[in-house]
Each structure stands twice: as C-alpha cells, then as structure tokens.
Amino acid sequence: MLNISNLNISFGHGSEKNHAVKDISFKVKRGESFGLVGESGSGKSTVLNCISGLLNHWQGTIKVDGVPVSQKRDLAFYRKVQLVFQDPYASLHPRHTIDRTLKEPLAIHNFSDINHRVEKVLREVDLGSQFRFRYPHQLSGGQRQRVAVARALILEPEIILLDEPTSALDVSIQAEVLNLLQDIRKERNLTYVMVSHDLAVISYMCENCAVMSQGAMVEMISAKQLKSGNLTQNYTKQLFTASKGYDRAAIDLFQDF
Amino acid sequence: MTEKTTTYSSTKEWLLTDTPASALQAAAGRAYLGLLEFLKNRLAVLGLMIIVALVFVALFAPYIAPFDPILTDLKHRLLPFSAEHFFGTDELGRDIFSRIIWGSRLTLYVIGLVAIIAAPVGIIVGTVAGYFGGIVDMVLMRITDIFLAFPKLILALAFVAALGPGIENAIIAISITSWPPYARIARGETITIRNSDFIRAIRLQGAGPIRIISGHIMPLCLSSLIVRVTLDMAGIILTAAGLGFLGLGAQPPSPEWGAMTSSGRSYILDHWWLITMPGTAIFVVSLAFNLLGDGLREVLDPKSDN
C-alpha cells in the first residue's frame, strides 16, 4: 500500500546543514498498522510530514498503491492519505464550529450528501449530534481529538498518518482514543502509519515498527519482539529499558548513540 | 447517543445553550456573550451611544435642522446663542446648529467610505503577503513601506493637491494613506497563524490559497483589524477636518466641520462660537470612536487582560 525507499531530507545550507532523515525505507501492507519510534529529534515526524506532503523538498521514492507520488500533491492524493495531528488544541480552527470543520473538506472535494456524511462520521467517532455546532473551545481534549480523527476520516482515505495522536491527552483518554482508532481501522480496513515515542502505545497499536535514531533507521521489529524484549540492537534495548520507567542503575549504563 | 429535543423557555436560554442545533444559533450565542462583555465597559457604551446618535442625526438631518445650512442671511450675521439660533450664526448669517447637523452627514460619509476602501485593501495585501512570504511578501511590504515613510497628513495633502480639492478626492487621499498600517497588522497576524496545525490540516485536505486566506486566515485577523480601524476613525475625522481647514477638503458652502472651523478662525476673538461649536463636534465624535475602539478591543482582542 505504502512503499518508501531511500527517503532523504535535509534542512539548512552549508555548515548548518542538518541531514534530518537518512535513507529511510519501509513498506506497509494494506490494512497494516506500522509504527515509527524514536526519541525526540530522531526524525520520525519528519518522515510523516514528507509522506503527507507538508514538506516537499525530500529525495527518494514514495509510492502509494504502487504509484509514485511527486513533490507536489493533487486532490486525489489528499483523498487517499490523511493526517491526524499531535495536538488537538492546535489542530482545530478556533473560530469554526465542528460542523464547518467537517464540511470544509467535503466542499473542497465536491462530495454530495454533505449533511448526512457529517452526521455519520460524528457517530463513528462516538460524538453525538449535540457536539456538531459547538466551537472547539467548548470541547475537552479527548473530544477534540475525536473531531480531528473524524476530519481525517470524512474524506474516506485509505491511509491515515498518525502523528503521536495521544501524547497530548491524559492517560485515561489515551486508551479511549487508541481503542477508537483500532476499531475504525478494523471496520474500514485502513492502513495506519503511526509515530510515537511511547513503546507501549506502539506495541498495542502496530504489527511492525521501525526504530529511528538521529535520522537513520536502527532496526525493524515486530510487535511480538517488542513485547518479549527480544531485541538485537543496543539502541533499541536502551530505549526499551528507558520506557519501563526510571531506574538509577539502568541509566548509569546508558551510552550515547 | 440519544437525540434530545429541547425546548427553550427564553431567548437567553436559546442563546446560551451548550448544544446549539444550528450554525446560526452557535454564532448568535457567541455574539451574545461578546455583547455582554462589551456592555460591562461603561465608557465604550457611551461611545457607542454617541455614534448611534450621530448616525440618527445624519439620517434625519432635514427634520432636525431648523434652518437651511447654506442659506445666507446678512442681516443676522455673527449672532450669539439664542432660542432661535441655538449655536448662533456665522459670518454669512447661516445657522451654526443647522450646519453642524448637516455636517454630520459629511463626517459619516468620509469615515464610512475610508473604512470601506482602506480596511479591505489593507487586509488583502497583508494576508497575501504574510501567507505566501518570499518575493510576494517583499514586493508588497516594500510598497507598504513607501506609503508608511510619509506622514499621513502630508501624503494626503500631496494627493489632494494632485487630484484637486473636494470631498471625494479627500476621501481617496485619506484611504490611500490609511491602508498600510492595516496591511502590517494583517501580515503580522497571518505570519503567526500560517504555520499553525489547523492551517496545515486544511492544506492537507487539498484547500487552495484563496480558500485558506479568505476562510481561515482573514477571520482571525479581523478582530484586531476592527479594533484598529475604530481607533483610527478619530484620526480619519481629524485628517478630513484638517484637509477641510486647509481648504482642500469639502468646498464652501458645504457645511463640513473642518471647513467651518477654518472660516471661523478670523472671528475667534470676538465671536468665539464660530470656531468652538464645530470644533467641539469634531472632538466629541473623535472621542466617541476612541472609547468604542477601546471597548471593542476588550471584547475582540484575545491578548487583552479582561
């Protein structure tokens, strides 16, 4: 479904040049959920921004459904691939009602039956019709993120890119949103690419994941490996240890990569 | 979720409900909360009342003014206050009260047209420059800089001198000189919001620049712009009056307040009301717009404390 090979991107020029993503390649099958993990600044979100089209000076090949996509995207691409942002407090327009936020993409893509589609997608993300004409400031963080998911779903895409969709939410809401995302994936047979620094979230959501460090891919692991801790690379092991919580003895053994 | 059909016992409840049933109701509720916030500011309400009174006076000028504003009567020139002539008469025996009443039409005409011309030009130039950045931004902002490099009144004077005196030319000149600050404000606001997630989100849904600028960026620039335009109204009135005073705005015998102060200047020592009455009118209306602008800022500007 999604095939990335030798993806490279760098920012800045000359001595300040920062090679943010180095030769990343991975494949995601239809209906699969693929994770990208790594610490802050490892380039995982940048990969997602290249795929979604927010960044367009990358090199390499990105194929969706076997068709290579160019730097400049067309409407058909946006109908196929949608992104859910990390921070639900920033990703909804503060002066637009939920209704307008959801109708706008339908108007851009000339969908018919707009009212019915908005109602349906709100039901799908477990928000009642009483939320439809509210402004974002009248919703909680979890409700906002549901709206953001609904906005991504409303164009009926095949691939959804998730940029740490739960990291801005508190723990009780995180589980709700993750379950919702899992249910929707099964129901619609969607393909997910999910970025997270939380190994627990990745092991719950994804079948396979890539571990990234300083822009390069360190290792590809499956969810089973992640659960059992059967890891080969030292960096991944260290990340795995760090994710278990604070431990003085373990931290003393950490090395820089 | 179960559908609830609620009936509202009062308009207030309908406005303040958590669960509006239509976009109109949501917008009305928001406007109502803004109005409540505005009404808390007494001075702003006073300003609004003066402006409403001004509009009322301008609309019904023929019924309020007791005399024809341009009818000269040399037998009754330079009369002080009396029951017949509330504000006295001027050097040609015209009733000053009637002239001020009719002059309110000219004042409203000037500020209305300047706001309609300058504000949209400013917001379009500013948002386009801010959204696209790069070369577009550079070209548009350098043009703006050229206009900002001159003092407003001097530039307006130059334009009127070139276009010829008259109220229409004065309006054009004031509009040309007042859009650059609006463009600057709109550009600044646009730059702070163009990289926010909600703009990225709509871009990833395939929206083009026209839709993004007009539907997503402009509404967010609008509130600070409305505040600025209202506060500038006082300056616009003063510039128009200044042009009138210098003989470059409205031409005699039209009852423009600035021109009236100018012609009363030669009588200032013996017949002070000739210049004081139109001067007071200019002062009151300018002050009213400033008060209203401050009140609007508290309602619309999210950066203010209240």
pLDDT band with cut points at 50, 70 and 90 for residue A168? confident
pLDDT of A198: 84
Determine which of B14, B15, B17, B204 to mutate to test the interface with A (most A C-beta atoms within 10 Å).
Answer: B204
Closest by CA to B217, choosing from B133, B140, B138, B290, is B133
Query: What are the phi and psi torsion angles at B2 (to 5°)?
Result: -90, 145
Q: How close B173 comes to chain A (CA, Å)?
A: 35
Average pLDDT, chain B: 89
- Domain of residue A181 covers 28-57+70-253
In a domain, B243, yes or no: yes
- Our CA dihedral for B60, B62, B67, B73, rounded to 10 degrees, sits at 130
Q: What's A201's domain CATH number?
A: 3.40.50.300
A97 contacts in chain B (CB < 8 Å): 23, 26
Beta pairing partners, A59: A8
Beta pairing partners, A210: A36, A220
Q: Report the range of poorest mean pLDDT among A123-127, A251-255, B163-167.
A: A251-255
In a domain, A11, yes or no: no
| B 199-238 residues inside an 8 A Cβ radius of A | 200-207, 211, 215-216, 219-220
Q: Report the range of poorest mean pLDDT among A168-172, B55-59, B161-165.
A: A168-172
Q: How many domains does chain A have?
A: 1
In a domain, B74, yes or no: no
In a domain, B16, yes or no: no
In a domain, A83, yes or no: yes
Whether the predicted pLDDT of A219 surpasses 90: no
pLDDT of B302: 58
In a domain, A180, yes or no: yes
Over residues B194-209, the mean pLDDT reads: 92
The answer to whether residue B5 neighbours chain A at the CB level (below 8 Å) is no
Over residues B58-84, the mean pLDDT reads: 89
Q: How many domains does chain B have?
A: 1
Q: What's B141's domain CATH number?
A: 1.10.3720.10
Give, to the nearest 10 degrees, the angle between helix A114-124 and helix A141-153.
Answer: 130
In a domain, B169, yes or no: yes
Whether the predicted pLDDT of B6 surpasses 70: no
In a domain, A202, yes or no: yes
- Alpha-carbon distance of B99 to B261, in angstroms, equals 12
The answer to whether residue B18 neighbours chain A at the CB level (below 8 Å) is yes
Average pLDDT, chain A: 88
Asked if this assembly's ipTM is beyond 0.85, the reply is: yes
pLDDT of A103: 93
Whether the predicted pLDDT of B87 surpasses 80: yes
pLDDT of B306: 42
Candidate from B25, B26, B204 with C-beta closest to A54: B204
Which H/E stretch holds residue B218? helix B218-245
The answer to whether residue B195 neighbours chain A at the CB level (below 8 Å) is no
Over residues B13-36, the mean pLDDT reads: 84
In a domain, A20, yes or no: no
B211 contacts in chain A (CB < 8 Å): 108
For residue range B275-296, what is the model confidence (pLDDT) as tens digits?
999 999 999 999 999 999 988 8
**Residue in the block written with tokens 């998911």:** A149
- Domain of residue B162 covers 38-67+81-300
The answer to whether residue A133 neighbours chain B at the CB level (below 8 Å) is yes
Candidate from B26, B196, B220 with C-beta closest to A134: B26
Burial string for B62-96 (b: 16+ CB within 10 Å, else e) reads eeebebebeeeeeebeebeeeeebebbbbebbbbb
Mapped onto helix, strand or coil, the DSSP state of residue B113 is helix
Flag if A105 and B196 touch (Cβ within 8 Å).
Answer: no
For residue range A135-151, what is the model confidence (pLDDT) as tens digits?
898 888 889 999 999 99
In a domain, B75, yes or no: no
In a domain, B228, yes or no: yes
Q: How close A5 comes to chain B (CA, Å)?
A: 22
In a domain, B100, yes or no: yes
Candidate from B21, B30, B198 with C-beta closest to A92: B198
- Percent of chain A with pLDDT strictly greater than 90: 41
In a domain, A7, yes or no: no
pLDDT of B281: 94
More confident call, B34 vs A194? A194
Q: How close A205 comes to chain B (CA, Å)?
A: 23
pLDDT band with cut points at 50, 70 and 90 for residue B2? very low
The answer to whether residue B1 neighbours chain A at the CB level (below 8 Å) is yes
pLDDT of A184: 92
Flag if B204 and A100 touch (Cβ within 8 Å).
Answer: no
A56 contacts in chain B (CB < 8 Å): none
For residue range A3-45, what is the model confidence (pLDDT) as tens digits?
998 999 988 888 888 888 889 999 999 999 999 988 888 888 8
In a domain, A125, yes or no: yes
Query: What are the phi and psi torsion angles at B158 (to 5°)?
Result: -60, -45
The answer to whether residue B3 neighbours chain A at the CB level (below 8 Å) is yes
In a domain, B213, yes or no: yes
In a domain, A65, yes or no: no
